[in-house]
Chains A and B, each alone.
Chain A
Amino acid sequence: MTLAMRKLSLTVNGKTIDPVDVPETMMMQDFLYEYLNLTGSRMGCGQGICHACTVIVDGDDGAMREIRTCITGAHWFAGKKVRTVEGHATRDASGAITALSPVQQAFIEHFSFQCGYCTPGFVTGATVLMDELKRKPVRRADLEKTISEALDKHICRCTGYVRYFEAVRDVILKTPGLVKA
């Protein structure tokens, strides 16, 4: 059996990745790990169940989509703009973090995680939720339900979801325009 290869080019965290030979069958998470050395999007199940591996794909319409990299081939991302967990914080020219994203800041202040293996997926999922709420705010009374529905697909094994969800509620309420009166 020969290994069929194809050139892949895409944008990851604002950087254009020049065409590289990537096996046609390789999943995106392995491309991120082994080719780009970005190991933050974590392999949990390899089945699309736990959502620890998700990344954001920024659409041309400006909307974000959350995509599971463990069950999506690397070549599906050809030409797309991808944001991994490593691309959320603001960094200076040397790569040092100068500011966390609001979601990241909320998670650390709420002690949302213990082991942190699922954290990249929650950062991604909550960021996408906030992006959706920007376009389609929810009533305050529906906020908890909205968060639950958006993030229930993410599995956390250490902290039982409470501190993630409270952090997300907190950052949504603090961000103008996401919640209707």
Chain B
Amino acid sequence: MKAHVSRRDILKAGVAAGVAIEVSFLSSAQAQLIETPPRPGPDWLKADGRPKYRLDAIAKVTGEKTFSRDYRARDLEGWPKDQSHAFLLHATRVDRVFDSVDLSLLGDDLKPDRLVLHEDLVADGVVIPVPGFYGDVFLVPKGQNPRLLGQPVAMLIYRDFARYDAAKRLLRFNDKVVRYGAEAPYSHPPHYGASRYVRIDGGTPDAEDRYSPYKDTVIFAGFNGDEAAWPKPGDGDAMARGMAAADEIRKDIDGAGADALVIKHQYFSQSVDASAMEPDNGNVWYEPSTGILHAMIATQSPYEVAEVAATLVSKSKFPLKKIDLKVGYTVGYGTKDHSIFPFFCIVAALYGDGRPVRLANDRYEQFQMALKRHAFWMDNALVIDRKTGKFRAMSGHFKNDGGGRANFSFSVAFVGATAAQSIYYLPKSDFSAVALASRAVDAGSTRGYGTLQSMSATEMMIDEAAELLGMDAIELRLRNVFKSGMKNTQGAIPAGALRNEEILAKARQHPLWTEKAKKKAAYEAANPGKKYGVGYGHVQKDYGTGAEAALATLEFDAKGRLSFAHVAHEIGTGTTTSQAIMVRDILGKAPEATEYGKVEWPQMPLETTDEPYTMAQAEEDKRKQNPRWTPTFTSPMSATNSVYYLGHATREAARTLLELAIWPAAQSLWSRGIGGGVIAPYSVRREELRLDGGVINAGGLPALTFEQVAAEAHRLGLVTGVTVHTFNRWQWAQAEFDVAGSRHKLPIDALAVKYGDGASADNKALMTLAGWQFVERASIIYPPTQRNNAGVTYYAPMATLAELVVDTATGDVTLLSHHSIMECGTQVVPELVSGQIQGGIAMGIGHALKEYLPLYEDGPGNGTWNWNRYELPRSADVAVWSQTSEILPPLSATDPPKGIAEVVMIAIVPAIANGIAHAIGKRFYDLPITSDKIRGALS
């Protein structure tokens, strides 16, 4: 989940500075985003319609240009062939003012063709487009302290690669190049935010809550120094009452009697670098003569990049008429979502003398300036009834370090806090989240989004509590497990069935768990100096942001050729494959043509204020009367949103096409002939329709091919194409549309249709938008804005059992095996799901045991970090040949798919920590649990 910082919030800042920019989706700058599509081979589907391989597999396995990083100007149609290259020089200390850069080392030959300093940007009106969110300056001004370690001080641009490469190698690691002036006290930006989620139930899970964020309010605070200044408790407004509820919980914890176990610990989860293999990069060409800015940038949030780039350039002296942004495939694990890096690329182009300029981090630079996962400090307390093993109350007070730019630090903090309950029902809970500013490299959206940190701590605490209670750790979990229909710590009821109980029951029966004592004794007897342990971790992770929007279109021609387009683009997870398979699952055949990253939707003339989190209910009620208004146009590729949320648009487009085209056309074919044809003697219902393998069946009627039905739909002039826009605020917007003489209620908020070749002149006349009719909705229900306080309502669970050995001499931990149990609704492409599990676990192992970045002077901002000293998990670390997993079968074939890209990496983290505790009898509260720490604990 991610919330409360919308693009609109970002862009309002530009308006406030007096720059009149009409920002709606791709409007003023007419931005275009075009994906460069590697085409699959003709045989990517098996006979049964399942994929033989990923849609992008051949391009990737043969080394074709797929990543944004692979493209040079010569590869991009319409661009000049000559490519310039840029790199940045960075400040590695913040305790002195920046003075200048000394490039004498380069001599005359390797001097940059253009040196850009902060003062150049000031002269040209190039300013940070989103003050606060992206800091206040791109480059450190002369005479001022850097805002954060690793902040760029200068940009060097070269018109050829050879000189650029040689110069960069000469200057790298040289601490004489950036010259500092006098010492000056560093002051960090204002802290980024504080919020608190307090809930007291009404005596039972079903009863109305006495207090909850959803029913009442989230509590917000300012700062007094480095501490959050919470409102005073009282019986006045909702925040005061919330603080009174928090007080009550504190007293319960402090005053718990002998009949309760009170466990309190402080936990730390470290800052890490996501280490996406493709480092940040962009290639941008600005044509001063035309005012067109062409860009090819690696990003998970292309729409944000296009819009913010428009703001950035429009406010400068450089004329701007159009932004043409291309995005290739990329990977970022969240860190390429709302990063500042693309805007450095834009700035580079403005100083490129009309030539394309490429700015591409090497790995040192990537460590130095890419967004990091937040370090979290967590102060937890849990009260457990000794007799029943039931949790009475839990509190957790969390701080994270967001570094020197705000980015999403505040929402990462509160998302972490709202996830801290993990898989448990808590009658009373008080979780606070504080996002602090510092001189560290900025942290932002990174896989887990705060929940890896908070849920790992909870799961480590539960394991210790079970030990203190003398209870089996899975039994303790079962007694407290969150069940379907219960309320989360925000007071909201999550979507659908929560099946953690089933997972716990399976885990309790697993041989790794049932035989752990026996195996420990046997292993240790056979391996002196080695300690054997099994640990369990179990979490459920939300997916989505609370403002998820998407567009998808499906249409077929009279020959039955099916075309599909979607706003989604590929970030490695396989969405381009799974969206096509979702179409196949509903329409019985995969589309012959697919287009991803589609940005031009002339059939959807929507208007958006893009304030989905912050708009007041009254304002939204007014706005929604406009049938073309929507809370937000589309979402970035992030927050594990592809299969469920972006897939919802795909599925609804397919279902709507089924309803408006396939069923009536099939009925028409089956009704031919005297007396109503073959269908007349039967009573066949719509729900008997079956589509598979390109064949359409229903209730014993003759099979029809998709081509026959498509031809009939066109002959009759039925709807043959649909485009949908969807919106979710922890539930779906629903609207009614009048199409083809009847009213249809759909879980979408906008619809456009296309009629077939045989359509009436009247219907054809309606198709005025690039051959489409935008169908103005007859009614609309948006989820109430209060639902923003729900925090989250969609969860996917996973549990992992980790079997490990600790070498008591070296402190090294070796995973012998691990087994995971997950529930994800209906799997779309099982191979992609298991790949996610295996990859997520590897990343979690890195977080638990290996990956660590100091935050400040010795940290990544100093420019010396790379994978030689930042250890990533390798195959030898992940039990590559002995890991297993199972996935609960869906309750029925109608279960929707659940987003799992983040949850898969979390459970292994506490599982390892708990396994180490089982192995050596020592608990660790700081991650990662390195060999050094273990040796220290054992000595």
Contact = CB atoms under 8 A, between A and B. Distances in A.
Interface of A: 1-3, 5, 23, 25-26, 30, 33-34, 37-47, 49-50, 52, 84-86, 88-89, 97, 100, 104, 107-120, 123, 144, 148, 151-163, 165
Interface in B858-886: 866-868, 872-876, 878, 880-881, 883
B63 A40 contact: yes
Given A25-B166, A111-B53, A117 B75 contact: no
Interface stretch (B65-73, B466-474, B620-628, B760-768): B65-73
B161 A30 contact: yes
Given A30-B165, A47-B363, A1 B106 contact: yes
Interface stretch (B455-463, B740-748, B837-845): B837-845
Contacts of B58: 97, 100, 108
Given A115-B572, A163-B838, A165-B875, A157 B276 contact: yes
A153 B872 CA distance: 11
Listed from nearest, the 8 A-B pairs whose CB atoms lie closest are A40-B63, A116-B60, A115-B572, A85-B63, A160-B842, A115-B331, A117-B277, A160-B838
Nearest to B837: A160
Most buried by A among B69, B363, B839, B876: B839
Nearest to B845: A160
A160 B839 contact: yes
A26 B160 CA distance: 13
Nearest to A151: B875
Interface in B49-70: 52-54, 56-58, 60-67, 69-70
Contacts of A154: 875
Contacts of A152: 874-876
B571 A46 contact: no
Given A50-B867, A86-B63, A120-B63, A111 B278 contact: no
A9 to B, nearest CB: 18
A157 B878 contact: no
A37 B170 CA distance: 25
A105 B581 CA distance: 21
B92 interface: no
B832 interface: yes
B62 A100 contact: yes
B75 A37 contact: yes
A81 B934 CA distance: 48
Given A40-B62, A97-B62, A47 B880 contact: no
Interface string B829-841: 1011011101111
Nearest to B362: A46
Contacts of A160: 835, 838-843, 873, 878, 880
B448 interface: no
B74 interface: yes
Contacts of B278: 42, 115, 117
A82 B295 CA distance: 33
Given A117-B331, A156-B842, 11 more contacts: A3-B163, A30-B165, A38-B63, A42-B278, A108-B58, A108-B61, A113-B61, A114-B572, A157-B842, A160-B878, A165-B880
Nearest to A38: B63
Nearest to B333: A157
B835 A114 contact: yes
A116 B66 contact: yes
A115 B571 contact: yes
A111 B107 contact: no
Contacts of A1: 105-107, 109-110, 166, 170
A165 B881 contact: yes
Most buried by A among B277, B363, B832, B842: B277
Interface of B: 41, 52-54, 56-58, 60-67, 69-72, 74-75, 105-107, 109-110, 161-163, 165-166, 169-170, 275-279, 329-331, 333, 362-364, 571-574, 829, 831-832, 834-836, 838-843, 866-868, 872-876, 878, 880-881, 883
Contacts of B276: 115, 117, 157
Nearest to B61: A104
Given A44-B277, A155-B872, A162-B883, A85 B53 contact: no
Contacts of B329: 115-116
Given A47-B363, A157-B276, A40 B64 contact: yes
Given A155-B872, A157-B872, A158-B331, A84 B835 contact: no
B875 A117 contact: no
A33 B166 CA distance: 15
Most buried by A among B41, B64, B75, B829: B64
A15 B624 CA distance: 63
B331 A161 contact: no
A11 B624 CA distance: 64
Nearest to B880: A161
A151 B874 CA distance: 9
Given A86-B63, A148-B875, A114 B867 contact: no
A43 B276 CA distance: 12
Contacts of B867: 44-45, 47, 49-50, 155
A34 B161 contact: yes
B383 to A, nearest CB: 38
15 contacts: A3-B110, A25-B165, A30-B165, A41-B63, A47-B363, A104-B62, A108-B61, A111-B829, A112-B835, A115-B276, A119-B63, A148-B881, A157-B839, A165-B880, A165-B881
A3 B831 CA distance: 50
Contact of B74 (A37, A44, A115): A37
A84 B165 CA distance: 22
B839 A111 contact: no
B107 A2 contact: yes
Contacts of A153: 874
Contacts of A158: 277, 331, 572, 835, 839
Contacts of B573: 114
A151 B881 CA distance: 13
Nearest to A97: B62
A152 B757 CA distance: 58
A100 B71 CA distance: 23
Contacts of A43: 69, 279, 362-363
Contacts of A25: 165-166, 169
A85 B275 CA distance: 23
B61 A100 contact: yes
Contacts of B881: 144, 148, 165
A89 B166 contact: no
B66 A148 contact: no
Most buried by B among A37, A52, A154: A37
Contacts of B880: 148, 160-162, 165
A104 to B, nearest CB: 5
A107 B241 CA distance: 58
A15 to B, nearest CB: 15
A3 B872 CA distance: 36
Contacts of B69: 39, 42-43
A118 B60 CA distance: 10
B812 to A, nearest CB: 15
B52 A119 contact: no
B835 A163 contact: yes
Most buried by B among A37, A86, A100, A159: A159
B488 to A, nearest CB: 30
A145 B48 CA distance: 36
B579 to A, nearest CB: 15
A155 to B, nearest CB: 6
A157 B333 CA distance: 10
Contact of B62 (A47, A86, A110, A113): A86
Nearest to A169: B881
Contacts of A156: 839, 842
A138 to B, nearest CB: 15
Most buried by B among A23, A84, A114: A114
B75 A49 contact: no
Contact of A119 (B53, B60, B165): B60
Given A37-B74, A157-B843, A49 B868 contact: yes
